Structure 1
Amino acid sequence: MDKIIGIKVNKDKAQETISKIKEENNFNSRYKIIREKENIIIPIKKITSDLNKNNIVEINNPEKQKEIGLTYKEILKKEINSKYIDNLPSSYDIVGDIIIINIEDKEFLKEYSSNLTNSLKKIHPHIKVVLNKSKEHHGTFRTQDLEWIGGENRKETIIQENGCYLKTDVEKVFYSTRLATERKRIASLVLENETIGVFFAGVGPFSIAIAKLAKPKEIISIELNPIGVKYMEENILKNQMEKIITPIEGDVKEISKRYPNYFDRIPMPLPKSAENFLDDAIFSIKDKGIIHIYNFVSKNEPFKEIEKIIKEKEKKNNCKIEIIFKKVIRSFSQTTVQIVMDLKISKDLS
């Protein structure tokens, strides 16, 4: 009789937990996830220190996956001309029930889109839509052009993350599932009655996570993309956070002028060039307030350039900037990584 271990979590934490376990290479892909009324049980290889021991359960006679431990490319290899396989990407993004993959071979997509869709759905049974990147994130709103490959023909999805309900359109609004752990980390740092300014708020994942997981006094949630603001407003209402979060449509450089020395904490999850808005964040932060800045940088010496910029900002704004935390969050490409830095701003230098 087969016996394995798994971790039981509430369904609203399913996507976040699965992603984390897969990142740690601890997902036991030989077996199916067990779905109960309120919870799911995720099969794991071993008990690690970061898992809640109270949620670990034994699974007797677990149901094996039909395609045991295979990747979508290995499944495809049985069905299509093998000449295509080596050029297919090994990784892809999962946002809600949508997979976003990046395949440049139009001939392959024309002939084998249904095979591709089926192979991905075998590995991820909850997936309803498969989309292809036709253009990387671009423009002021950092959106991406996506082409439908298979499944339901839509680009809107609902994400359950950190106990939050988040609806988005993956083509019209920038959203990164890979910052879920960061959103939880920031929320854990928020003290009771803090005033928070979320710059580049998107559909509201940082704002809503902080409102749900902490006890802030007020959150001002600023986003330039009007479609992002529409979804953010809906998400705020759905999560019943309208008394705490105020969504504002507009440019951070303009909106921040209304809030001099106002915020205790400012997360700035702009995917690119956030340092260009650091002056505005410093203007709006209180003395001894914290700014969380994210950026894509060179893999070699990832903090060197931003630390140089921080020194320049100290002089320009007549303040002291202390780096109290810094971390490489993830690899983006062979040469690029994403980082976060927590900056403590001291304005009273007397």
Structure 2
Amino acid sequence: MYRTIRIPPEKGEEIREKAISGKFLDTKRKIRRIVIEGGTFLEIPVTGTAGETVEGFPVIDQKSPEFLKPSVSLKECLKTSLSESEIAHIPSGWQMLGDIAIVSIPDALDEKKLLIAEALLSMCPKCRSVVRDFGIEGQFRQPKRELLIGSGTETVHKEHGCFFKQDVTKVMYSKGNLEERKRMSKLGQGETVVDMFAGIGYFSIPMAVHAHPEKIISIEINPESFAYLKENIRLNHVEDIITPILGDCSQAAPEGEADRVIMGYVGTTHHYLEPAIKTLKKRGGILHYHETVPENLAWTRPEERIKKTAGCLGKKVEVLAIRRIKKYSPGVLHVVVDARIF
């Protein structure tokens, strides 16, 4: 028998993500909307490992399940249009942000880029545009990207019950940071939080939407990212929680006001440790410090940098956790350190 969770539509994204993270979402069946006596509901298909209830909703038998069509890979889609040597260079994956597909295409397939874009467009029913990715560059870590096909590069990406409006050719959005964004959404209730590198609201928005801090001061130096930060504050109806500030966080961060400081930037984050620690209240608080670091130094260098800076300011450090976010590049990890400064 096929099993499902029947839930109110507004709980759909939350329960779907719970099923994905718990590895009990049945990906062979459709999530469907049904209208029965008592109202409109969503049915989230689950496997037998889901248990008897999920977040208080009972797991029930599903009548007349609807199955998804087997997915076709990009290589399979193009196998009649490209040679075997060209097929070998086809990327195995791509990123979907909202209704835009972002794909890295090697130079060897430069002449086939439009063919690849057309294939992606046909494979993804919700896809409106296809963008080629060349990596990131500059102080603002802006993406270098080319619109291959479609009607534009601005989209609204929904994640964990939050909306992120962005232009994918102007600002970065890393799917690899999903779990950290979800973790931040559970922290900060009732606190004053300073987000030193706010971007378009990667961490500020989930925290404001789900944790309801007293106040979040979100600082961003890039004018393009800052414009989307303000728009996302409005889209998510958190104007009463988030105060956006355009500027350099080393100068714009308020001194002695924060219970918690988020340092969600990588590259030169350690240069901002002193102003970050000064931003915490006199009695101290929590620091979330991100760093890209060689793998062999991942569990020592970030902690040492925090302790050295704190010591110079007459402060002590208790490291609460060091977490791996993702592999940043060969031999380099992106980690985050949670530290109590006092």
How does the TM-score come out when normalised to structure 2?
0.85
Structure 1 residue 332 corresponds to structure 2 residue 328: yes
Amino acid at match of 1:100: I
Q: Secondary structure at the match of 1:47?
A: helix
Paired residues for 1:177-326 under 5 Å: 177-192=175-190, 194-256=191-253, 259-286=254-281, 287-326=283-322
Matched residues in 2 for 1:219 and 1:314: separation? 23
How much has 1:85 moved relative to structure 2? Answer: 2.1
Task: Verify the 8 A CA contact 1:10 1:39 in the aligned structure 2.
Answer: yes
Matched residues in 2 for 1:133 and 1:36: separation? 39
How much has 1:225 moved relative to structure 2? Answer: 0.6
Q: Which residue of 2 aligns with 1:97?
A: 99
Per-residue CA deviations over 1:122-177 (Å, capped at 9, x if unaligned) read 3x43222221112x111111111111233x23111102223222211112122223
Matched residues in 2 for 1:172 and 1:39: separation? 38
Do the aligned partners of residues 47 and 114 (structure 1) sit closer, same or farther apart at CA in structure 2, a change above 3 Å counting?
farther
Do the aligned partners of residues 188 and 90 (structure 1) sit closer, same or farther apart at CA in structure 2, a change above 3 Å counting?
same
Task: Verify the 8 A CA contact 2:121 2:129 in the aligned structure 1.
Answer: no
Task: Verify the 8 A CA contact 2:274 2:310 in the aligned structure 1.
Answer: no
Do the aligned partners of residues 10 and 336 (structure 1) sit closer, same or farther apart at CA in structure 2, a change above 3 Å counting?
farther
How much has 1:178 moved relative to structure 2? Answer: 3.0
Do the aligned partners of residues 229 and 308 (structure 1) sit closer, same or farther apart at CA in structure 2, a change above 3 Å counting?
same
Per-residue CA deviations over 1:270-308 (Å, capped at 9, x if unaligned) read 133222211110011112310111222223342222122
Do the aligned partners of residues 46 and 88 (structure 1) sit closer, same or farther apart at CA in structure 2, a change above 3 Å counting?
farther
Task: Verify the 8 A CA contact 1:133 1:144 in the aligned structure 2.
Answer: yes
Task: Verify the 8 A CA contact 1:99 1:131 in the aligned structure 2.
Answer: yes
Amino acid at match of 1:182: E
- What 5-or-longer segments of structure 1 have no aligned partner? none
Do the aligned partners of residues 110 and 143 (structure 1) sit closer, same or farther apart at CA in structure 2, a change above 3 Å counting?
same
Q: Secondary structure at the match of 1:94?
A: strand
Q: Which residue of 1 aligns with 2:125?
A: 125
Percent of residue pairs identical = 31
Amino acid at match of 1:131: V
Paired residues for 1:166-185 under 5 Å: 166-185=164-183
Do the aligned partners of residues 29 and 161 (structure 1) sit closer, same or farther apart at CA in structure 2, a change above 3 Å counting?
closer
RMSD: 3.1
Q: Tell me which moved more, 86-95 or 167-176.
A: 86-95
Do the aligned partners of residues 40 and 199 (structure 1) sit closer, same or farther apart at CA in structure 2, a change above 3 Å counting?
farther
Amino acid at match of 1:139: G
Number of corresponding residues: 336
How much has 1:23 moved relative to structure 2? Answer: 7.1
Q: Secondary structure at the match of 1:277?
A: helix
How much has 1:269 moved relative to structure 2? Answer: 1.1
Q: Which residue of 2 aligns with 1:142?
A: 141
Task: Verify the 8 A CA contact 1:13 1:162 in the aligned structure 2.
Answer: no
Task: Verify the 8 A CA contact 1:224 1:250 in the aligned structure 2.
Answer: yes
Amino acid at match of 1:181: E
Matched residues in 2 for 1:109 and 1:27: separation? 38
Amino acid at match of 1:156: E
Q: Which residue of 2 aligns with 1:154?
A: 152
Q: Which residue of 2 aligns with 1:76?
A: 78
How much has 1:36 moved relative to structure 2? Answer: 6.2
Matched residues in 2 for 1:116 and 1:36: separation? 35
Do the aligned partners of residues 268 and 158 (structure 1) sit closer, same or farther apart at CA in structure 2, a change above 3 Å counting?
same
Task: Verify the 8 A CA contact 1:196 1:216 in the aligned structure 2.
Answer: yes
Q: Which residue of 1 aligns with 2:90?
A: 88
Do the aligned partners of residues 9 and 176 (structure 1) sit closer, same or farther apart at CA in structure 2, a change above 3 Å counting?
farther
Q: Tell me which moved more, 20-29 or 331-340.
A: 20-29
Task: Verify the 8 A CA contact 1:29 1:69 in the aligned structure 2.
Answer: no
- What 5-or-longer segments of structure 2 have no aligned partner? none
